[in-house]
Amino acid sequence: MLPRCVALNCLARTCCVNAAVTARGMQQIGLAFVLAPAFRCLYPNREDRARAFARYGGHSNTHVFMVPLYVGIVLSLEMQIARGALPESAAGVVRETLGTTLSALGDSFFSGALLPLWALTSAFLLLAGQTGLAAMLAVVFLALLLLFRVLTFFAGLRHGMPVLLRLKRLNLINWMERLKILNAVMVILVVSQLPLRHLNPFPWLLCGLAAAAVLGASWLVGRMHLPRILLWALVLGALILMDAGLMGM
């Protein structure tokens, strides 16, 4: 097992993994920065340490919330390699598949469900005038996120690849679907806080067109696989043109 100070150093550095993202290597430089304290401990010989860094010199990218788990599993693997229990080639297979797998899970659960739920809930509280509750929610969310990062890092460091079986038992995919349903409810609650009811006459046509646009966007993304960033750019461009008076309703 790595010394506690070394493990904590690596864990702290995972917060900086995206500070040097490149278009070609993505988190390549950041991952080397994170692994450096552990490699100095595991491989006192300079040549062994150079080979260890070379094993992670290629393209590397995973969801930022899953980086501690990824690093923990990698360090568990490297400790076995340093003891001679595994060949050095084992690291290449893990690096190529593990990051992509955790990235897909993080994108689906965190970016696709949990973060929107936090944003919608915060918007609802702010529109309702509950600024204190919104700030408290942000603090609680950040604390839970930090706890998740710490627990997954040490779980990966202690158990290695088998920790993925435990992660599978959490059934995050099903939780993601439930959170998305809750997000739809939160959208309705946020809209209910908007001052639309004070408008006279009520813009039924505008609301109907907005609902149709949301349904149409869902169909384009789900069936036609149109990039969501493109739809976002079109909507943002339309709003900018409307604000500038270049396009009217």
pLDDT value of residue 174? 75
**46 touches 25 (CB < 8 A):** no
List of the chain residues with pLDDT < 70: 195-204, 206, 247-249
**CA 35 – CA 27 distance, rounded (Å):** 12
For the chain, state the CA radius of gyration: 23
pLDDT at 202: 63
Helices and strands in the chain, H and E counts: 11, 0
CB 39 within 8 A of CB 53: yes
Token pair 């992509």 is found at: 100
What pLDDT is recorded for position 142? 92
Q: Partners of 26 in the beta sheet?
A: 22, 60
The residue ranges of every structural domain in the chain are 4-193, 202-249
62 within 8 A of 143, measured Cβ to Cβ: no
Please tell me the pTM assigned to this model.
0.76
Q: How far apart are CA 186 and CA 137, in angstroms?
A: 15
Q: What is the C-alpha to C-alpha distance for residues 185 and 206, in angstroms, rounded to an integer? A: 21
Residue 199: how many CA atoms within 13 Å on its side-chain side? 10
Give dist(CA 244, CA 207) in Å, integer. Answer: 22
Q: Which two tokens stand for residue 195?
A: 């001052």
Q: Quote the CA–CA distance of 221 and 215 in Å, as a whole number.
A: 10
* Residue 137: per-residue pLDDT: 92
Torsion of CA 169, 172, 178, 184, to 10 degrees: 180
- Residue 140's pLDDT is 94
Collapsing DSSP to helix, strand or coil, 92 comes out as helix
